[in-house]
Every structure is written in C-alpha cells, then in structure tokens.
C-alpha cells in the first residue's frame, strides 16, 4: 500500500465514526462474547447485544478486575486451560505497562488477534506515512539515531514471555534486522542488558556517523533528556573512544563492544578533533545541528507528563523541529497525531473509531468524584469538556478505564479530536492531579532560577495518609553541582525555599486548597533530594521489570517503597 493509499485509508477510517464504532463493538463481541470474564454479564443469545445493552449489562472495569484472570493465564500453559478467560485468540505473551507510580508494572495480555492487527495496521502505518510526507527519505543521509532498547525479557510460570510492547518486534523471534539497517547502532546495542551502557553506545555510534544522521528519535522526551545529560557528562570519554577506535572499558558486554568497534571502523582522530571543538565551546543550545549537521528532526512523545521536558529538549534541538508522537497505549491504539509539528500544548489526537470501542466518562477537576457515572459514546462528547477514556478492545479488555483524562477540542471529519490532559486520579482520597503538580512546579522553578540560578531536574509528589491530618510531600531533585547548601548560601537558600513552598501550595488546584483551608490536609512538606535520585528510582523500576524504553518518572507516587528511597536521598526538608 502506497503512502497516499495509507493516508486515504486513515482519512476514511475517521469518517462515519459512530458506524465504525458499532462495527468495532459487534466484531469484538462476535469474537469474544463467550469468554469467562463476560459470561456473568451477557446472557447466551444468537446475536451480541447492541451498544446500549452492552453498556447496561457490563460494568466499568479497572485492571484489578482482570488481575485474577491475568495471573491465571500467566501461571497456566495453553494446553492446561479449560476455557478462554479474556479472549478466544491464542495468548502470545504479556506486555509490561509503562506506568511507574508503583515499583512493579502491570501485565497486559497480548493475544494473536487478526482483528486487532488489522485495526492497528492503519494507525501505525499511517503514522509512518505522515512522517515520510513531511520528510521524504534521502538516499545518502539515511541513518536515524534511535534510542530503543529491547529490554530484558522475563518468563511467567506458565512459560509466557513478558516484555515491553515496543520490544515485541525485536524479541518475538521474527525480528528482521535487515529492515532496521537505517538505525545507526548495531543490533547488539539494542539487545544489550545495561541501559546506561546502551545509551552510551547509541551516542558513540551516532557521533561516528554524524554526517549521515537524518533524525534523532526516542519513545519519550525523558529518554532524550537522559541522552543529552549523558552526553554532557561523557563527551570527553566519547571523543577519546573515537580517537582510538575502541569504546570505553566501562562497556563490559563483549558482543556490544565488538559491534561498536566494527561501527567505529578504527581510529578516527580527525572526527574526534572536530567534535572536541564543538564540545569545548560549552554551548549546549542548538547542540543537535552542531554535532549532526544534516539532521532534519527530533521525534518523541512530549505530551502529558513528558511536557515538562519539552523546553529543555527544545533548547538542545535549537532550530531543528521537535516532532510529537501518537496516542498509543499498551492495550490499544487510541488516536493519531495528524500534525506532528505542533508543540505539546497544541497537540491533538484524532480518535481512531476502528481501533477499539470507545466510551467517555465525564470528568470535572473541581470535583473529588467523577462528574458523571454514565458514559457517552463518540457521538455524545462535547467540545471543551473532559472525559476519562474507557475502552473495549479486541484483546480482552471490556469497558476498561484506560487511566487517562482527555479534553475534546474539536472534530476531524466525524471523529473526535482530543488533547491529553493527565493521568486519571486513582481514588477520591487524592487531592492533586499531575497537571496541578506540573503547573505548581513551574512557579517553583522560576523562583529558583531568578533567586539562586538553580535548576530542578525532576519532581514528584506523595500524599501521606498515615499522618493526621494527611500531608502532601513534594520531592524535587536539584541539578548536579548544586551549591544551595554550602555554608555561605544556606540561610539565603532556606528563605528562598520557604517562598517556594508557598508558591507550590498556591498552584496545586482547588481540591487541595479546600482541604488545606478545612484543616483536612496539613502544610506541604518539600524535600530537596540529591542529583541522580530519580535515576536510581528508574534503576529500581527496571530491575523490577519496568521497560527501560518506556520508563516514565512518576509524578504522583502511590508506593511507600519509592517514597522511602527519595526520603533517604533528601538534602533538606522544608515545611
């Protein structure tokens, strides 16, 4: 299928959205209406229920409603299973969710569904066609420095592999590495087991091929921020590696070392000298075009919790355009970004009515509970209103809270256009949202920059309900080499940080303000933690199974183990 045909097909799939949704639900129920999960809700009948009857009969669900079925599937080989639990299709493997508010990710079953493959084909291939339309392939400058990691693959007791969704094409046994020859790094780097070393080798290979790099890509903005931070700290070593044609001895993986040696192609003293001149200029603004002069774009997801990294990434990119990603979840494709050149605050996604059956639960940020208990379908959403996304998928989730809140901003053809607002609050006890926290921390950052010329590199919050009254704790990581707490600056720093506490509280939203005024929540507690603290959190999460390529630093923490690690890294606590 040509790119023009793909884009026409994509455009057609957004027309007659309501009809596509009816067809999607009918296909799902025709295929999976008899599974164990649905049996208590759907009475035996010759034809599946219509959408209204389906919504009346089947309750809204969360991951906890599927946990018993998922654990049973994970622990039991196919041959011992008596009845399809969530899908009649064969179970291929499990995906780790990318959520990182707790140390262990969820398991998302991945079934071999022809219907699902057909539904997602247009989304993925259409997205690639949009990119190629903007940046047609070039014959000579044809390498992409793509920071992808195949991640470690674990196995369940039932013998099923567990991996990141983005890892599946690389670890499924059907990987065609010849089709990935456009990536500047060899397969051994992608398949490595140490993320820091893989990142280093991705960079080293990208620098070796600097004139052939057409683009820089990563799944999420945080991944590229880590890349450039590593480059800032390791550029001298990388130049030495290029000069001698051998990667640093820190790279212990023999296969990865040997593959990088082949890419380097022997000592490169002229290239090393040229790059040193750039690095010694000590100007990181616009560094992308300085190091990779033929790069045309940088691409990653920068919406939602990734939006905080966009300004810094823009600084690194300079005049090189930053392109956004699509709205794809581990459970299903949700929406596609038709204008990937827009910044995060203007990014909107066109819902794909063929990808799943979608419902929308009204949501009001000023209410501690949902604004409504009845969902609406695609024809019932209203522009300007916010909704929690509920999906019924081809792969075993039925009226499932995806965990996201979106705002409807318009319609493309007849399909809703949505912007991602935030992850949904997990329960009525929560008193702030990710968006509240991000807005509040912008003011915090501004005060620190103006008063102390300091940078906050990462942050998160935790509501401690064991205290009476409950208390919100905010953890902020300072940049490396922070001089806030030297003997000469300590008093001035404390004054500024107390101002910061007030600024944060002022920006935390109406629910927090009401509960503070009533005395139901105590004063904010601010922890300033050491540089590298959040990186250690990522290492813990990855050791526990979180995908390195999909890891997102948590903004709302819901696990005491993570809190304990951050509290142990505290430089100072302010209330």
What pLDDT, on a 0 to 100 scale, did the predictor assign at position 422?
A: 77
Count of beta carbons in the 10 Å neighbourhood of residue 114: 10
Task: For residue 160, give the 3-state DSSP assignment.
Answer: coil
Tell me, yes or no, whether 282 and 148 share the same domain.
yes
Range of the domain at 197: 142-152+180-295
Two tokens, residue 394 = 């081809």
What pLDDT, on a 0 to 100 scale, did the predictor assign at position 551?
A: 76
Tell me, yes or no, whether 565 and 463 share the same domain.
yes
Tell me, yes or no, whether 439 and 558 share the same domain.
yes
Q: What is the 3-state secondary structure (H, E, C) of 142-155?
A: CEEEECCCCCCCEE
Q: Is residue 163 situated within a structural domain?
A: no
What pLDDT, on a 0 to 100 scale, did the predictor assign at position 226?
A: 92
Helices (H), 364-419: none
Two tokens, residue 378 = 């695609």
Q: Which of 485, 473, 459 is nearest to 571 (CA)?
A: 485
pTM, rounded to two decimals: 0.87
Tell me, yes or no, whether 413 and 468 share the same domain.
no
Count of beta carbons in the 10 Å neighbourhood of residue 369: 11
Q: Is residue 321 situated within a structural domain?
A: no
Q: Is residue 78 situated within a structural domain?
A: no
**CB neighbour list of residue 384: distance below 8 Å, 6 or more residues apart:** 407, 408, 409
Task: Return d(Cα 179, Cα 73) in angstroms, integer.
Answer: 33
What pLDDT, on a 0 to 100 scale, did the predictor assign at position 241?
A: 97
Tell me, yes or no, whether 219 and 255 share the same domain.
yes
Question: Which position has the token pair 């209103």?
Answer: 385
For residues 527 and 566, the answer to whether their CB atoms sit within 8 Å is: yes
What pLDDT, on a 0 to 100 scale, did the predictor assign at position 483?
A: 59
What pLDDT, on a 0 to 100 scale, did the predictor assign at position 489?
A: 65
For residues 382 and 374, the answer to whether their CB atoms sit within 8 Å is: no
Helix-strand-coil split of the chain, %, nearest 5: 40, 20, 40
Q: Is residue 198 situated within a structural domain?
A: yes
Task: For residue 365, give the 3-state DSSP assignment.
Answer: coil
Two tokens, residue 40 = 């208590």
What pLDDT, on a 0 to 100 scale, did the predictor assign at position 80?
A: 60
Q: Which of 504, 527, 519 is nearest to 469 (CA)?
A: 519
The length of the chain is 575
Two tokens, residue 491 = 């008093």
For residues 195 and 152, the answer to whether their CB atoms sit within 8 Å is: no
Tens-binned pLDDT, residue by residue, of the chain (575 aa): 888 988 898 888 888 899 999 999 999 999 999 999 999 998 766 667 889 999 999 999 999 999 999 999 999 886 666 789 999 999 999 988 765 555 567 889 999 988 888 888 888 999 999 999 999 999 889 999 999 888 778 888 899 988 887 778 787 666 677 778 899 999 999 988 888 999 999 999 999 999 999 999 999 999 999 999 999 999 999 999 999 999 998 998 999 999 999 999 999 999 999 999 999 988 899 999 999 999 999 999 998 888 889 999 999 999 999 999 999 888 889 999 999 999 998 999 999 999 999 999 998 766 645 445 789 999 999 999 999 999 999 999 999 999 888 999 999 988 999 998 877 766 556 778 777 888 888 888 787 777 667 788 899 999 888 888 899 999 998 876 665 555 556 677 778 788 888 888 888 877 888 888 888 889 999 998 988 888 888 877 777 767 777 777 888 887 788 888 899 988 888 87
Tell me, yes or no, whether 207 and 237 share the same domain.
yes
Tell me, yes or no, whether 474 and 499 share the same domain.
yes
What pLDDT, on a 0 to 100 scale, did the predictor assign at position 109?
A: 93
**CB neighbour list of residue 201: distance below 8 Å, 6 or more residues apart:** 185, 189, 192, 247, 251, 256, 260
Half-sphere exposure of 294 (CA within 13 A, CB side): 17
Task: Return d(Cα 474, Cα 466) in angstroms, integer.
Answer: 16
Positive or negative torsion for Cα 242, 244, 245, 251: negative
How far apart, in Å, are the Cα atoms of 192 and each of 20, 239, 563?
42, 22, 30
Tell me, yes or no, whether 284 and 146 share the same domain.
yes
Residue 111 phi, psi (nearest 5): -95, 150
Task: Return d(Cα 328, Cα 421) in angstroms, integer.
Answer: 15
Q: Which of 332, 304, 303 is nearest to 97 (CA)?
A: 332
Q: Is residue 316 situated within a structural domain?
A: no
What pLDDT, on a 0 to 100 scale, did the predictor assign at position 56?
A: 92
What pLDDT, on a 0 to 100 scale, did the predictor assign at position 298?
A: 97
Q: First and final CA of the chain: distance in angstroms? A: 61
Tell me, yes or no, whether 216 and 265 share the same domain.
yes
Q: Is residue 72 situated within a structural domain?
A: no
Q: Is residue 304 situated within a structural domain?
A: no
Tell me, yes or no, whether 486 and 564 share the same domain.
yes
- The domain boundary, picked from 356, 389, 423, lies at 423
Q: Is residue 303 situated within a structural domain?
A: no
What pLDDT, on a 0 to 100 scale, did the predictor assign at position 262?
A: 96
Number of domains in the chain: 3
- The domain boundary, picked from 361, 395, 423, lies at 423
Tell me, yes or no, whether 567 and 444 share the same domain.
yes
Tell me, yes or no, whether 443 and 509 share the same domain.
yes
- The domain boundary, picked from 401, 423, 445, lies at 423
């Amino acid at each position: 299928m040509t790119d023009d045909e793909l884009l026409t097909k994509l455009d057609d799939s957004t027309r007659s959205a309501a009809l596509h949704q009816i067809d999607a639900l009918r296909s799902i129920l025709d295929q999976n209406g008899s599974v164990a999960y649905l049996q208590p809700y759907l009475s035996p009948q010759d034809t599946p229920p219509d959408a209204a009857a389906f919504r009346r009969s089947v309750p809204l669900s969360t991951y906890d409603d599927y946990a018993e079925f998922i654990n049973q599937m994970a622990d039991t080989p196919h041959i011992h299973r008596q009845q399809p639990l969530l899908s009649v299709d064969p179970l291929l493997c499990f995906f780790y969710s990318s959520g990182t508010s707790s140390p262990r990710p969820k398991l998302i079953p991945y079934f071999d569904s022809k219907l699902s493959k057909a539904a997602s084909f247009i989304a993925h291939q259409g997205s690639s066609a949009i990119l190629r339309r903007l940046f047609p392939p070039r014959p000579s400058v044809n390498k992409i420095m793509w920071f992808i990691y195949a991640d470690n693959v674990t196995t369940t007791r039932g013998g099923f592999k567990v991996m990141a969704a983005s890892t599946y094409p690389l670890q499924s046994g059907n990987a065609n590495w010849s089709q990935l020859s456009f990536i500047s790094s060899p397969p051994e780097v992608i398949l490595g087991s140490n993320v820091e070393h893989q990142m280093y080798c991705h960079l080293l290979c990208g620098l070796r091929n600097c004139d052939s790099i057409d683009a820089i890509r990563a799944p999420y903005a945080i991944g590229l921020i880590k890349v450039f931070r590593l480059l800032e700290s390791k550029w001298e070593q990388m130049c030495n590696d290029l000069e001698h044609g051998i990667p640093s001895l820190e790279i212990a993986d023999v296969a990865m070392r040997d593959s990088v040696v082949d890419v380097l192609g022997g000592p490169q003293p002229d290239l090393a000298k040229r790059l040193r001149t750039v690095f010694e200029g000590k100007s990181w603004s616009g560094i992308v075009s300085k190091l990779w002069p033929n790069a045309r774009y940088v691409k990653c997801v920068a919406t939602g919790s990734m939006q905080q990294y966009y300004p810094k990434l823009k600084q690194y990119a300079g005049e090189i355009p930053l392109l956004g990603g699509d709205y794809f979840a581990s459970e299903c494709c949700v929406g596609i970004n038709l204008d990937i050149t827009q910044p995060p605050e203007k990014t909107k996604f066109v819902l794909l009515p063929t990808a799943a059956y979608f419902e929308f639960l009204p949501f009001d940020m000023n209410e501690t509970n949902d604004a409504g208990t009845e969902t609406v379908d695609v024809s019932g959403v209203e522009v300007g209103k916010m909704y929690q996304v509920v999906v019924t998928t081809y792969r075993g989730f039925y009226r499932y809270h995806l965990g996201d809140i979106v705002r409807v901003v318009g319609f493309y053809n007849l399909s809703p256009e949505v912007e991602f607002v935030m992850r949904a609050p997990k329960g009525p006890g929560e008193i702030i949202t990710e968006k509240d926290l991000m807005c509040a921390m912008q003011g915090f950052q501004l005060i620190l920059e103006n008063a102390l010329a300091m940078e906050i590199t990462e942050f998160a919050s935790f509501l401690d309900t064991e205290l009476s009254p409950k208390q919100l704790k905010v953890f902020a990581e300072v940049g490396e080499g922070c001089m806030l707490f030297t003997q000469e600056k300590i008093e001035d720093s404390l004054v500024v940080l107390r101002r910061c506490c007030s600024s944060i509280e002022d920006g935390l939203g109406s629910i927090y303000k009401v509960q503070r005024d009533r005395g139901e929540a105590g004063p904010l507690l601010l922890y300033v933690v050491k540089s590298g603290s959040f990186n250690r959190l990522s290492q813990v999460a990855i050791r526990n199974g979180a995908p390195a390529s999909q890891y997102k630093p948590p903004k709302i923490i819901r696990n005491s183990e993570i809190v304990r690690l951050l509290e142990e890294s505290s430089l100072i606590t302010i209330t």
